[in-house]
Structure 1
């Protein structure tokens, strides 16, 4: 039976965590990453008020009229507001949806800014400034608090992953000291009369995440589905107090698919012609724009060719072009074949 394991990471979060505690966490993470690619984490240390603040901030912004939200659209950039049907995540794998740009979710995205990193000459294309909507004054403080908390958890998880892979401590440090981190906040719902629900409805198309790993907060509402190694879709909901974590393409490429990036999609349930509302916030821990993604020591396999080296920025930009413009990226063949064979 398919299950997403729950792993208590407090051994890495707690300053008093012992080497034995951390070794136990690392072993459980390795098993989860090899067998499932998704894991639920507890013991992450994020305060309840920070989580509640994020949920309230999403409600404040997404409750605004569509014409107001559209003022904060940033065409061509991974920042600001994305209205329904403006993206097609399956195209980030080169897998065309039945209707292009048919993902029925709206989103608001913030992320790492060029100004955050003194002493680095960083391209504004990878580190653009954020947009903070004046029409939702509670959004910025709540989102910044969550962003900081999720960023801390992602770095704890990278330390645990380093141990799980048997790498030297700090192996990834020089690859994440000016990481392109992004938080995409999603709202799955359709206002009455907005559109007739006919035929196949895609909340968020099948895709893999682009970077190292993703830390996801989501409502306990059906919709998220994960593709297992045999090509079958499974419903996944977070346990009480748990955050969902999945691997992205950078980690899959680094490990040469010892740990595969997880193909997933969202299809919120429709009852009486209406989508049941579902909210989520995905923190993408992506790595430095100039970090090179190439096979890690110990992950080369004779009968499976390594992925060709690519920088984090090159990889992300190709995926974003697919998602936002429908331009199929090169080099996504392995993931695309898994999606096309799914049942």
Structure 2
């Protein structure tokens, strides 16, 4: 794996804060060891693990994914350049035209989303399509784009595809032909799959009180699979089947995997998109910015999100008419354009209609 990230440009080192020492209620997530996919016995064991994870949590860890801790650290070094090494003027110049294009490619700047009680977000993110040549990048990032492109392809072919194809974990759980999902996720086809560098900045205490310590309200991702590279600031929570919010614990050099709406639709509810949110970190980590690296996978633009299974999960109802199922492009563009732009009546579950589909936000 030494040549996966062709590091040949110096980069300032990003030093994350220490892990929290606070007493935290952690989510007890299963772990998928990708080194086990080389045997049939290993594949069977991992299928059982993913099946359990989807039924009980909707999230799981992945370890032994092939990148070393040193390569992992360099990815975060490069990610920080997108924020600490790019001027405000360049960020504005490379800002994504989110409402117009229905795409996040480029920068989402702070205070674009409404969070709660008039408080807007303090989140910046920079998004790179899996085809990194689709648009120009800020000058400060250009020397690192060969590494970024290599890392993006690694996420797609060495992590996403093992979940979809070599190990066939999701296909095995759902009971469809083993190539079903991977055929919908072609690296060279047009699609909105992207790599995201993301930075949460601390807020004022006044805003924290007004937003009830919520940095990003409860939601489900709208793609198929989300790959989060674990980082030490404790802020991500998942909503358990018992309706209790619990924190996701940092595991060094591990990945945190969850299913999004699109894979829930394709699987007829057998794989369920999990509700999660981001909140203010515990006291010993407050004041530090939270740097994240994500890979948001989606199918090819033209793929229909109609179920690929013959029978829906018992009790599961699609959020759209199966005969009029949206394509991935239609669904993603609608979600991207609408997200965080509507001030909804405050309820425990807030609902809005996007392209005829009910979208829920959780307070």
- Measured against the shorter chain, the TM-score band is 0.7 to 0.9
- Describe how 1:141-290 pairs up with structure 2 within 5 A: 141-152=146-157, 153-159=159-165, 160-177=169-186, 178=189, 179-190=191-202, 199-200=210-211, 201-269=213-281, 271=283, 275-290=287-302
1:193-250 Cα offsets, whole Å, 9 max, x none, are 9x97652254223221111101111311110111112322111123122100000101
CA RMSD of aligned residues (A): 2.8
In structure 1, list runs of 5 or more residues that go unmatched.
89-95, 116-128
Contact 1:268/1:278, CA 8 A, preserved across alignment: no
Determine if the alignment matches structure 1 residue 4 to structure 2 residue 29. Answer: yes
Contact 2:227/2:255, CA 8 A, preserved across alignment: yes
**Following the alignment from structure 1 to structure 2, what is the Cα–Cα distance between the partners of residues 247 and 299?**
19
* Bigger mean CA offset, 301-310 vs 71-80: 301-310
Determine if the alignment matches structure 1 residue 69 to structure 2 residue 94. Answer: no
1:308-333 Cα offsets, whole Å, 9 max, x none, are 32211111111101126448525554
In structure 2, list runs of 5 or more residues that go unmatched.
1-25, 343-351
Contact 1:85/1:104, CA 8 A, preserved across alignment: yes
Q: 1:174 to 1:149 in 2, by over 3 A?
A: closer
**Following the alignment from structure 1 to structure 2, what is the Cα–Cα distance between the partners of residues 247 and 279?**
22
* Bigger mean CA offset, 252-261 vs 286-295: 252-261
Aligned length: 312
Give the Å deviation of 1:3.
Answer: 1.0
Residue equivalent to 2:81:
60
- Describe how 1:21-170 pairs up with structure 2 within 5 A: 21-64=42-85, 65-76=87-98, 77-88=103-114, 97-99=116-118, 102-113=120-131, 129-152=134-157, 153-159=159-165, 160-170=169-179
Q: 1:157 to 1:229 in 2, by over 3 A?
A: same
**Following the alignment from structure 1 to structure 2, what is the Cα–Cα distance between the partners of residues 164 and 35?**
14
Residue equivalent to 1:336:
360
Normalising by structure 2, report the TM-score.
Answer: 0.77
Normalising by structure 1, report the TM-score.
Answer: 0.81
**Following the alignment from structure 1 to structure 2, what is the Cα–Cα distance between the partners of residues 273 and 210?**
29
Secondary structure at the aligned position of 2:193 is classed as strand
Contact 1:184/1:282, CA 8 A, preserved across alignment: yes
Determine if the alignment matches structure 1 residue 323 to structure 2 residue 329. Answer: no
Contact 2:130/2:195, CA 8 A, preserved across alignment: no
* Bigger mean CA offset, 104-113 vs 302-311: 302-311
Give the Å deviation of 1:23.
Answer: 1.2
Contact 1:104/1:204, CA 8 A, preserved across alignment: no
Q: 1:146 to 1:258 in 2, by over 3 A?
A: same
